Amino acid sequence: MADYFDLSGKVALVTGGSRGLGHAMAKALAEAGADVVVTSRKAADCDAAAREIEAIGRRALAHGCHVGRWDELPGLVEAAYAAFGKVDILINNAGIAPTAPSSFDITEALFDKTVAVNFKGPFRLSALIGKRMMAAGSGVIINVSSNAAIRPVPAYPVYAAAKAALNAITKAHALEFGPAVRVNTIMCGPFWTDISKSWREQADKDSKAALKRIGRPHEIVTTALYLASDHSSFTTGATIELDGGLP
């Protein structure tokens, strides 16, 4: 079965790859044979994650980048292609979910930052790398969304809207970049990560999902590997719900 997820010779770029779900996916891609570009805002965290990947026996590139800043993305792409000559797999995982007491209290700066990280950045990075993937004749883009896109709540309306936009662009990019490039979304429920440490225990206890708990980082891995591998060759424009069976 390991051969189904064999990524030998592939190069993956994972945003938000230094911690949480991104870190879990970056390591899993390396264990499946891929070389990995790890990017996040904090270069030191990227360096640490890259060393872990190199310890697995794969090549890694650490590159600090704020994916919400349009003008930083070309530099990330150029660094990846300079190091490895290609990108076969792009995982748009980086995201932020700031809350506010009400929509009235959300500032323009917070609105713009939330949309930039969760939608504008993935959109632009997919456009930059998707174009090169099309020219190369193959590629995979995986967007990491949230069930907030279809179950919005007042605490984070802008985040929910940005993730809904990410879901929509998945289908649009699948049509635009196909047939050479496949584009899919993993739409996650709550997960037990360091990012969720302030609320994860209570959410785990109170979960209304069919599995009566929130997810663990390793539980996103096989979904990501499936979408990244050639054995999902007829899957594109899809949104896969990974939420333990939320009602």
Average pLDDT, integer, range 122-139: 98
N residues, the chain: 247
The confidence score (pLDDT) of residue 197 equals: 72
Let me know if 156 is a catalytic residue: no
Distance of CA 161 to the CA centre of its chain: 17
What percent of the chain shows pLDDT beyond 70?
A: 99
Report residue 198's pLDDT band, with 50, 70 and 90 as the boundaries: confident
Integer CA distances (angstroms), 183 to 29, 167, 169, in order: 17, 10, 9
Domains and CATH numbers, the chain: 2-242 (3.40.50.720)
Can you tell me the distance from the alpha carbon of 118 to that of 95, in angstroms, rounded to the nearest whole number? 5
> Of 4, 81, 156, 159, which one is the catalytic site residue?
159
The confidence score (pLDDT) of residue 2 equals: 57
Report residue 192's pLDDT band, with 50, 70 and 90 as the boundaries: confident
Query: Does residue 24 surpass a pLDDT of 60?
Result: yes
The confidence score (pLDDT) of residue 165 equals: 98
Tens-place pLDDT, residues 165-177: 999 999 999 999 9
Can you tell me the distance from the alpha carbon of 219 to that of 98, in angstroms, rounded to the nearest whole number? 24
